[in-house]
């Protein structure tokens, strides 16, 4: 799965959906126009009969043509105004990020220090996938009142993503099955499906709101009584209001009907892709098929009890609500089709609840019950590829090797530091501690005094408690540890977060220089938190031409070339290896000296490149990977700088293997 290609497909799908929903709106306008003509004709006829006319002036009478431009213009403007304002309202409601979506359906945020074994297992699985894929750690929510098996991912960017699961998912699935479901949701995160889902919900609500208004009018008249004495006055008004209500209801559901058809068709297509990606991520098809079979075997399956999630039914892992129009409105493919797409030998038998499958000791695949997928067949040996290029190839995806590596990394991370990363009051002191100088005692003491002055005695106390564990921290642990602090820092108010970031900046400059790791920490942290607070800022493309960012790309490649400390390779040669990957502007790219490609210059260059199109970001990162891997090995400074560049460009990059600390 190519991350940049997936993002491009998501944008194309968005354009297509807007066009299709525009047709639904046009249908709504047409229905509204004919309803208006009918109601005007009815009102006109009543007025004339009241005046004594014997003839009834029907809407299509010669004196009242069927086509009335003025009426059409009013209906058109009114419909567009209502639909547009309602869609903007819903978009604004969800624009604060995935947490708003999760909380709108009753989700409860999981305490990072939960002692519930099921919740602990869920957090571990999500942490592993976040570290392996290079995305910021998502917030985790649970729908406590939902005993069925279901889940969804929501958000506008990877920086504000959340993963939500039902209570039934936690209690009924094994770890392998849970990993398959979470892998499915991470596919939606990496494929750009979340933003598309939010747009779908907003547009659909805009169309539905007309029908909701009609239903509200009819509901308000449920206790209305019309006596014979006022039937000529009040009775007529009640009938007229009821007629308007019925008209709005019909008009609204005309557009809603076609909108749901479009929504369902697009959603079903993406579910097959997410299933396939999950199997690629985990290399364990029995995990995902096991979850799907349990949905088919349990009485509740994936059906949600609360109607709160109806508007976001297409977000979920499996069909959450029964469709009155059967498969036409189903947001997900039938379970047997999804299972057969993974296991062509599936015999149609779903999970039998009384039986317990012990996948902890033997998976279905190991037992020979599931044939290997064609996509998992052994591949021919490939030429050696540098760790940087392997990481670039893995951008936007997950592999079993990456997940295993993330599990190993998290297992070797000091438990005290992992716990601190999840705690709101300790996450900031942990970041301060990561920045403490390990070599110069004078600088280290100056940094401790900065913490005491800027953050207070409590922060210094926590820092001292963490110090023994921090001294054992390996270089490759540092950036993943920063990733783990993000869920604890995102809820911090901007007024409280600003002093934390200022303190970090002073700690970075305490020794008068900025290391690649310090630069990477600040870029990753600030970019992720900014997008978490205002995800609408992401995805805004202002630059489509390579020529417009030639200078910035030169700075990026030069900075990486200078970061290499390998004396056997000239920095200029490393730069040339990267520049050769962008043939369009290769001749215009200039190798810059260290002062012209300093971290300060790199910071400004990356801020501009963040607004570039996907192809520009992709080729820049490929070129950067060739610079870093030009000598066949990756230094820690190079790896951290490369991950900082990827994070600033909103590209989830997994950790690099094979790094050296020298």
pLDDT in tens, 337-380: 899 988 888 988 888 875 444 434 433 344 333 334 434 444 44
Higher pLDDT, 651 or 554: 554
What does the alpha-carbon distance between residue 400 and residue 323 come to, in Å, rounded to a whole number? Answer: 36
What does the alpha-carbon distance between residue 660 and residue 642 come to, in Å, rounded to a whole number? Answer: 14
Please state, for a pLDDT cut of 70, what percent of the chain lies above it.
75
Strand partners for 108: 142
Q: For the ranges 57-71, 280-294, 621-635, which has the lowest average pLDDT?
A: 57-71
**SS3 of residue 535 by DSSP:** helix
Higher pLDDT, 214 or 463: 463
Query: 132 lies in a domain?
Result: no
pLDDT at residue 361, rounded to an integer:
40
Q: What is the mean pLDDT of residues 89-102?
A: 84
Domain end position, chosen among 247, 264, 281: 264
Residue 301 pLDDT > 90: no
Number of folded domains in the chain?
3
What does the alpha-carbon distance between residue 236 and residue 242 come to, in Å, rounded to a whole number? Answer: 10
- What is the C-alpha radius of gyration for the chain, rounded to an integer number of angstroms? 29
pLDDT at residue 485, rounded to an integer:
92
Band (586; pLDDT cuts 50, 70, 90): very high
The DSSP-derived string for 316-366 is BSS--S--TTGGGG-SS--HHHHHHHH-TT--S----TTS---TTT--TTT
Residue 59 structure tokens: 């809407």
Domain end position, chosen among 264, 280, 296: 264
Query: 161 lies in a domain?
Result: no
What does the alpha-carbon distance between residue 583 and residue 591 come to, in Å, rounded to a whole number? Answer: 15
Q: What is the mean pLDDT of residues 402-431?
A: 90
Instruction: Provide the 8-state DSSP code for 151.
Output: E
What does the alpha-carbon distance between residue 507 and residue 445 come to, in Å, rounded to a whole number? Answer: 11
Residues 552 and 649 in one domain: yes
Residue environment code for 501-528, b if the CB has 16+ CB neighbours within 10 A, otherwise e: bebbebbbebbeebbbbbbbbbbbbbbb
Higher pLDDT, 464 or 43: 464
Q: What's the per-residue H, E or C state across 422-473?
A: CCHHHHHHHHHHHCCCCCCHHHHHHHHHHHHHHHCHHHHHHHHHHHHHHCCC
The DSSP-derived string for 40-66 is HHHHHHHHHHHTT-SS---TTSTTS-S
Query: 599 lies in a domain?
Result: yes
Query: 371 lies in a domain?
Result: no
Residues 548 and 649 in one domain: yes
Q: What's the per-residue H, E or C state across 87-142?
A: HHHHHHHHCCCHHHHHHHCCCEECCCCCCCHHHHHHHHHHHHHHHHHCCCCCEEEE
Residue 9 pLDDT > 70: no
Residues 643 and 553 in one domain: yes
Query: 64 lies in a domain?
Result: yes
Residues 557 and 635 in one domain: yes
Residue 599 pLDDT > 50: yes
Query: 159 lies in a domain?
Result: no
Q: What is the mean pLDDT of residues 263-272?
A: 71
What does the alpha-carbon distance between residue 138 and residue 312 come to, in Å, rounded to a whole number? Answer: 19
Enclosing domain of residue 566: 539-660
Residues 494 and 578 in one domain: no
pLDDT by residue (tens digit) across 534-546?
666 665 677 889 9
Give the sign of the dihedral formed by CA 94, CA 98, CA 102, CA 108: negative
pLDDT at residue 523, rounded to an integer:
87
Candidate list 119, 146, 185, 638, residue with the active-site label: 185
- Which of 34-48, 307-321, 394-408, 636-650 has the largest mean confidence? 636-650
Q: What is the mean pLDDT of residues 117-133?
A: 92
Instruction: Provide the 8-state DSSP code for 543.
Output: B
What's the Cα-to-Cα distance from 607 to each of 113, 204, 532, 612, rounded to whole Å?
Answer: 36, 35, 17, 10
Q: What is the mean pLDDT of residues 156-166?
A: 90
What does the alpha-carbon distance between residue 151 and residue 187 come to, in Å, rounded to a whole number? Answer: 13
What's the Cα-to-Cα distance from 128 to each of 35, 261, 400, 524, rounded to whole Å?
Answer: 56, 37, 11, 18
pLDDT at residue 618, rounded to an integer:
87
CB 646 within 8 A of CB 629: no
Query: 237 lies in a domain?
Result: yes
Query: 420 lies in a domain?
Result: yes
Residue 175 structure tokens: 């770890």
Residues 79 and 226 in one domain: yes
The conformational region for residue 348 under phi > 0 = left, psi -120 to 50 = alpha, else beta, is left
Residue 372 structure tokens: 């290997």
Is 185 designated active site?
yes
Residues 422 and 568 in one domain: no
pLDDT at residue 381, rounded to an integer:
47
What does the alpha-carbon distance between residue 430 and residue 480 come to, in Å, rounded to a whole number? Answer: 13
Residues 471 and 429 in one domain: yes
Residues 503 and 588 in one domain: no
Domain end position, chosen among 513, 548, 564: 513
Please state, for a pLDDT cut of 90, what percent of the chain lies above it.
28
Helix and strand tally (H, E) in the chain? 24, 6
Say if residue 51 is exposed, middle or buried (CB neighbours under 10 Å; 0-12, 13-18, 19+): exposed
Residues 620 and 476 in one domain: no
pTM greater than the 0.85 cutoff: no
What's the Cα-to-Cα distance from 366 to each of 298, 363, 399, rounded to whole Å?
Answer: 25, 5, 18
Residues 580 and 643 in one domain: yes
Higher pLDDT, 275 or 655: 275
Residues 507 and 546 in one domain: no
Strand partners for 661: none
The DSSP-derived string for 591-622 is ---TTTT-HHHHHHHHHHHTTB-HHHHHHHHH
């Amino acid at each position: 799965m190519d991350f940049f290609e997936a993002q491009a497909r998501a944008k194309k799908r968005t354009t297509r959906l807007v066009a299709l929903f525009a047709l639904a709106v046009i249908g709504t306008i047409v229905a509204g126009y004919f309803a208006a003509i009918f109601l005007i004709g009815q009102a006109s006829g009543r007025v004339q009969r009241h005046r004594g006319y014997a003839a009834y002036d029907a809407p299509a009478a010669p004196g009242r043509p069927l086509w009335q431009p003025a009426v059409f213009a009013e209906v058109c403007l009114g419909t567009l105004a209502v639909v547009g304002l309602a869609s903007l309202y819903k978009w604004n409601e969800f624009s604060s990020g995935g947490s708003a979506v999760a909380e709108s359906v009753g989700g409860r945020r999981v305490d990072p220090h939960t002692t519930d074994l099921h919740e602990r297992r869920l957090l571990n699985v999500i942490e592993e996938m976040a570290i392996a894929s290079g995305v910021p750690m998502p917030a985790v929510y649970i729908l406590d009142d939902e005993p069925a098996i279901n889940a969804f991912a929501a958000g506008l960017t990877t920086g504000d993503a959340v993963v939500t699961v039902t209570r039934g998912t936690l209690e009924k699935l094994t770890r392998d099955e849970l990993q398959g479901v979470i892998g499915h949701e991470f596919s939606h995160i990496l494929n750009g499906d979340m933003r598309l889902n939010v747009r779908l919900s907003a547009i659909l609500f805009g169309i539905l709101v007309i029908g909701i208004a009609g239903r509200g009018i009819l509901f308000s008249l449920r206790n209305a009584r019309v006596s014979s004495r006022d039937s000529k006055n009040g009775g007529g008004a009640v009938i007229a209001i009821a007629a308007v209500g019925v008209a709005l209801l019909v008009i609204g559901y005309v557009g809603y009907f076609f909108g749901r058809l479009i929504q369902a068709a697009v959603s079903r297509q993406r579910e097959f892709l997410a299933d396939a990606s999950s199997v690629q991520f985990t290399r364990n098809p029995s995990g995902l098929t096991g979850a799907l079979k349990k949905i088919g075997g349990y009485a509740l399956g994936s059906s949600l009890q609360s109607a709160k999630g109806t508007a976001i039914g297409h977000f979920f892992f499996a069909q959450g609500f029964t469709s009155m129009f059967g498969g036409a409105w189903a947001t997900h493919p039938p379970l047997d089709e999804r299972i057969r797409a993974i296991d062509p030998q599936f015999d149609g038998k779903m999970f039998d609840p009384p039986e317990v499958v012990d996948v902890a000791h033997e998976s279905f695949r190991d037992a020979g019950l599931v044939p290997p997928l064609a996509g998992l067949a052994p591949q021919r040996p490939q030429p050696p590829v540098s760790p940087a290029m392997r990481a670039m190839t893995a951008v936007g995806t997950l592999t079993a090797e990456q997940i295993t590596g993330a599990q190993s990394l998290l297992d070797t991370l000091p438990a005290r530091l992992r716990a601190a990363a999840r705690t709101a009051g300790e996450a900031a002191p942990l970041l301060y501690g990561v920045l403490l100088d390990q070599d110069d005692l004078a600088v280290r003491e100056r940094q401790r005094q900065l913490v005491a002055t800027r953050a207070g005695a409590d922060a210094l106390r926590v820092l001292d408690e963490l110090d023994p564990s921090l001294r054992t921290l390996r270089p490759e642990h540092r950036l993943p540890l920063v990733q783990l602090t993000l869920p604890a820092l995102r809820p911090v108010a901007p007024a409280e977060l600003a002093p934390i970031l200022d303190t970090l900046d002073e700690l970075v400059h305490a020794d008068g220089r900025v290391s690649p790791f310090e630069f990477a920490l600040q870029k990753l942290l600030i970019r992720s938190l900014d997008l978490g607070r205002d995800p609408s800022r992401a995805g805004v493309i202002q630059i489509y031409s390579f020529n417009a960012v030639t200078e910035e790309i030169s700075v990026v490649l030069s900075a990486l070339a200078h970061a290499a400390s390998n004396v056997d390779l000239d920095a200029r040669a490393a730069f040339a290896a990267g520049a050769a990957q962008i043939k369009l502007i290769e001749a215009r790219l200039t190798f810059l000296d260290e002062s012209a490609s300093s971290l300060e210059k790199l910071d400004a260059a990356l801020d501009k490149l963040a607004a570039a199109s996907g192809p520009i970001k992709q080729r820049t990162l490929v070129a950067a990977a060739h610079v870093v891997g030009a000598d066949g090995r990756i230094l820690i400074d190079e790896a951290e700088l490369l991950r900082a560049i990827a994070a600033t460009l909103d590209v989830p990059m997994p950790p690099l293997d094979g790094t050296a600390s020298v």
